[in-house]
Amino acid sequence: MTNLFFYGTLCHVPLLELVLGRPADTLDLTPAELPDHAVHWVAGQAFPVIVPRPGARAQGLLLRAPDAEGIERLEFYEGGFDYDLRRETVETADGPAPARVFFPQPGRWRADGPWSLPDWERDWATLTLRAANEAMGWFGRVTPAELAQRFPPMRARAGSWLDAQARPADPTRDLDRDIVVHDRRRVHFGFFSVEEVDLQVRQHDGSMGPVMNREALMVGQAAVVLPYDPVRDEVLVIEQFRTPLYLAGDRAPWVREAVAGLIDPGETPETTAIREAREEAGLEIAALEPVAQLWPSTGSLGEYLHLFVGLTDLSGLGSGRQGGLAEEGEDIRSDVMPLARLFEMLDAQELRDMPLTTITLWLARHHERLRAEAR
């Protein structure tokens, strides 16, 4: 049996327990240092990288003699992120000890400032534990490379779940008393997740209902912004192909929408709205007007939307401009039109996207105020 040395997020014992599938009191853990190495944040990421540094000492934990399954679980969690195990010698209070260490493949990650485990625990531990719980549920079912590809949306869903938990509870309901979950499982591994649950829910007459089987498509949360020029009284609407419409049999799967994008972990809805307007439409948003925060399809979809009107200057912009990120497969056309034309489309039931329809209804109530404030 070999030893393993951890220097980053796996020094957070609850995460190590989750990844190994064993409680800490069954593990032989001790503090250790790796000489002539330093731990740094990865630039733009929420995890660290270890780099050679003469005279430095990388602080961490030594796990003595992990079992074969534990090593397999660790390689599943770390392996797809281009980290390889390398043999080193670490120092402990009992003297030197051989250990294997996860090192990044050369050139894969760029080191930033010095790593701080307490800072990571404050800002990222809870989200990472939630995402890791979903990730390790796929151990033995997908490859480490497949897991790494899907880990970013797992983190986004974890962030969305934490935000949902922070919103006010229903004061008339007790979830622990009124909902009984018999089984809960994830049945699809992809960019989105499908969760299936067998549960009972307390009825309006006070009795517990029968066991029901339900499914939900779990997405995360997104920001949606409709660019509006209050001086010119114009809006910018985008059009793009939407696969779900095509799969559902709609013969017009190119849809007019507002600008939208999933919220990345660590982003605010406002930051996402501004970023997406820049990426999809090439626009700089001067100010955001909050419209609504809502679940667009409560019977099937686990996605939470933050809707905005984005105040901007649309002068000089015409219709037919192309936008979107090629690396994300986006092919987006933007059209600038008078707000009155958007209202006509609403009345003629030509708008088929719920967020755009909702924002248009809000603008019908508020555009005169926005125009007056812009004068």
pTM attached to this predicted model: 0.91
| CA proximity to 69, closest of 133, 7, 150, 136 | 136
113/223 same-domain check: no
Range(s) of the domain holding residue 238: 219-374
Position 158 in a domain: no
* Residue 344 annotated in active site: no
Band (pLDDT 50/70/90 cuts) for residue 303 is very high
223/109 same-domain check: no
* Span 90-131, pLDDT tens digits: 999 999 999 999 898 888 889 999 999 999 999 999 999 999
Domain boundary among the residues 118, 138, 153 is at: 118
Position 70 in a domain: yes
104/227 same-domain check: no
Q: What is the CATH number of the domain that holds 33?
A: 3.10.490.10
Position 170 in a domain: no
Q: What is the CATH number of the domain that holds 244?
A: 3.90.79.10
Q: Pick the catalytic residue: 215, 257, 289, 328? A: 328
Q: What's the CA gap between 198 and 211, in Å, rounded?
A: 6
330: annotated binding-site residue?
A: yes
237/347 same-domain check: yes
Number of domains in the chain: 2
Higher pLDDT, 332 or 214: 214
270: annotated binding-site residue?
A: no
Position 322 in a domain: yes
Position 201 in a domain: no
Position 196 in a domain: no
352/227 same-domain check: yes
pLDDT of residue 1: 55
Band (pLDDT 50/70/90 cuts) for residue 320 is low
Position 52 in a domain: yes
Position 17 in a domain: yes
Q: Is the model's pLDDT at 322 over the cut of 90? A: no
pLDDT of residue 325: 59
Q: What is the largest CA-CA distance in the chain?
A: 79
Band (pLDDT 50/70/90 cuts) for residue 61 is very high
Q: Where are the alpha helices (DSSP H) in 101-181?
A: 117-123, 125-136, 144-166, 175-178
Residue 27 CB burial class (10 angstroms; 0-12, 13-18, ≥19) = middle
